[in-house]
Structure 1
């Protein structure tokens, strides 16, 4: 009896508990990480406009390219787009009824009206390239490109299609804030204002200005994203088409392309290049995404296949992937080269800030501090990343 042990109830303290606290901690960490990533993406989208220099390069490039295109085709304008074209306005209207396209060139059969439209297209392209009242002129440029493209759509190629898409996308961007007449006008306006205090605004006016700035920034950033995605899709689809056939894999695709009569602006040059099969094979195999290779490829397409508009459009489109610090470095590189050549340099105050990326933030965040900063030091405030750029393009 004494040795008998009284059975004890099972102890609950030794029973293992599920790691609820640990799981809650991991879930909370993942939740915070997700919120941080969403906040970072939202800040990237709304904080400041990105790639303003790249947008300006696109504006200058496509404006200049289309201006040269219109001037080059000036002697043939009537046969391509005018009332004397074999593709008459009546035929074009029938096609528009089926496709939904439209063109300002078919609103009248008058030759005087067509000549007026052509002059307007040349002037619009020049103003768009120079960046004069860019917000409104970019819309006119898109209308001009779409109208001329639709009027003679069967004579277009890939270059015309790309310029049309880019003209539509650039309407969304603030492509006039750098290297433009608008930017120069804003600088002169800021210099005249000097250290004058910013006028007091009501709460509603400040909120309205903030909303306008945010909307402009979001639309600009989305437009630049669409432009970059368009270029990626173009290169990706071209690469997928190439790997589907045996000619690119066998290194003979360029041989057949050089012997197409439709793409032989200089037959003797095409035949000369075709005499070096090893070079053609290497060129067919090289697909590395290097900028110099892409530029060389497009230059070869322009010269050998007679597609300068397409090549120019692609070269300009590649500029969207270069960062703003690259474009901001170009003036400093130019001044350095000019200094070595003994060319007269600009005033020191102007040169001090032109080597860095100008501020791109919201107008209200710098406020009166930026007003009180000398013009030569204002552009060097990129380190804070919060200085202002005028809301107007």
Structure 2
């Protein structure tokens, strides 16, 4: 008991050191940035022919109705600032550009804020036309604003690496004079990033845990027939023949029901062991099945990307090494912010404006 009490302060100090001095899961944050930027870009491109019916001035859910709802809910949307078609088309084009730039990691700190505004605005404008996927994209977009998601695999990281290489032989005295300010900046960035990543991981655990516990309370999930009823709903039958074929295997339907509940309830409890890897693989298969059979690609894509937060950086580094070996060229995309004095920088390079 005394030994454990003696170790407690050291553990607290180690935790605070990690929290304040070293951003964690930088590669996972980059994957979330790339994934959600690409997912929303594809979503907007997919809905481009129907943009006016969903979000435009001629939508059945008119801008005036949306503004009346905002008065009650407190939501807001840049799409309702004007009923002009030219304004709407401009907003849509800017939304496409913002999603692409967020995915590429260009000026990530500013673009991440713009991406969160875009997702919130489009979600609020057509709040009744959703499959649940855009809810998660909205939450993750807001959380990523506080993270250093542009530190790896981004245009910001590439620019910072090239800039550090060009100025590696100089160490201006002005930078040394501002060492205290840089240290405070580094600490604040590390704390915000680590807290943001923790909130993202906690959000995913809450989603899975609450969904599993909710299913346990239902009789259809308990007797293994819930998926049978889902497969016979016209709303979730994009390919009726495929749904009928899957529904014809009663044993598989029952196993899938029980396995879904088990995976969701157990997920928060397997994150600190190797069992999480097969669980993540099974969840990947489950979401792919949902996307194909039930026609919910946005929801499935958002969940698959969110699961990436639980993979360690060594996994992503191994992917990066494999990519570099495949292309046989040096890595200028992954590590950003090395100081010109040779010390490793912990603050994402996109936080400070570039100097030309």
Give the TM-score, by structure 2 length.
Answer: 0.89
Structure 1 moving runs of 4+ over 6 Å: none
Q: For the Cα contact (< 8 Å) 1:59–1:129, is it kept in 2?
A: yes
TM superposition shift of 1:390: 5.0
Q: CA deviation at 1:208?
A: 1.1
CA distance in 1: counterparts of 2:205 and 2:185, whole angstroms: 30
Of the candidates 248, 263, 268, which is equivalent to residue 275 of structure 1? 248
**1:1-28 CA distances to partner (integer Å, 9 max, x unpaired)?**
xxxxxxxxxxxxxxxxxxxxxxxxx77x
1:231 paired to 2:204: yes
**1:332 matched to 2:321:** yes
- Alpha-carbon distance in 1 for matches of 2:176, 2:148: 26
1:65 aligns with 2:48: no
CA distance in 1, matches of 2:307, 2:175: 44
Q: What secondary structure, in the 3-state scheme, does the structure 2 residue paired with 1:173 have?
A: coil
Structure 2 matches for 1:103-182, cutoff 5 A? Answer: 103-182=77-156
The answer to whether the 8 Å contact 2:57/2:84 transfers is yes
Change (3 A) 1:84 1:369: closer
Q: Give the conservation status (yes or no) of the 8 Å contact 1:186–1:390.
A: no
Bigger CA drift: 241-250 or 119-128? 241-250
1:391 positional shift: 4.0
Q: CA deviation at 1:30?
A: 5.9
Would you say how many aligned residue pairs link Structure 1 and Structure 2?
Answer: 334
Contact 2:21 2:346 in 1 (8 A): no
Give the aligned CA root-mean-square deviation in angstroms: 2.1
From the superposition, tell whether residues 61 and 359 of structure 1 become closer, same or farther in structure 2 (CA, over 3 Å).
closer
Query: For the structure 1 residues 192 and 79, does the alpha-carbon distance in structure 2 shift closer, same or farther, using more than 3 Å as the test?
Result: same
C-alpha distance after superposition, 1:178-212 (max 9, x if no partner) = 0000000001101111322x112477621111101
For residues 345-384 of structure 1, the C-alpha deviation after alignment (integer angstroms, 9 at most, x for no partner) is 22xxx26x99xx8588x95xxx7345xxxxxxxxxxxxxx
Larger Rg: 1
Q: Is 1:304 equivalent to 2:261 in the alignment?
A: no
Distance 1:369 1:145, change over 3 A: closer
201, 214, 226: which one pairs with 2:187? 214
Given that 2:168 and 2:341 are in contact with CA atoms closer than 8 Å, whether structure 1 keeps it comes out as no
In structure 2, the residue matched to 1:345 is 328
CA contact (8 A) 1:60 1:128 kept: yes
Query: Given the alignment, which residue of 201, 211, 216 partners 1:243?
Result: 216
Q: Which runs of 5+ in 1 are unaligned?
A: 1-25, 339-343, 371-386
Q: C-alpha separation between the residues in 2 aligned to 1:103 and 1:391?
A: 30
Question: Which range moved further: 286-295 or 237-246?
Answer: 286-295
Conserved? CA contact 2:189–2:347, under 8 Å: no
2:66 is aligned to: 92
Residues of 2 paired with 1:210 and 1:114: CA distance?
44
Aligned partners of 2:140, 2:345: CA distance in 1, in Å?
27
- Give SS of 1:238's match: helix
The secondary structure found in structure 2 opposite 1:49 is coil
8 Å CA contact retained: 1:131, 1:182: yes
SS in 1 for 2:149: coil
Residues 105 and 114 of structure 1 are in contact (CA less than 8 Å); yes or no, is this contact kept in structure 2?
Answer: yes
Q: Deviations over 1:201-248 (max 9, x none)?
A: 477621111101100010000000000000000000110011111222
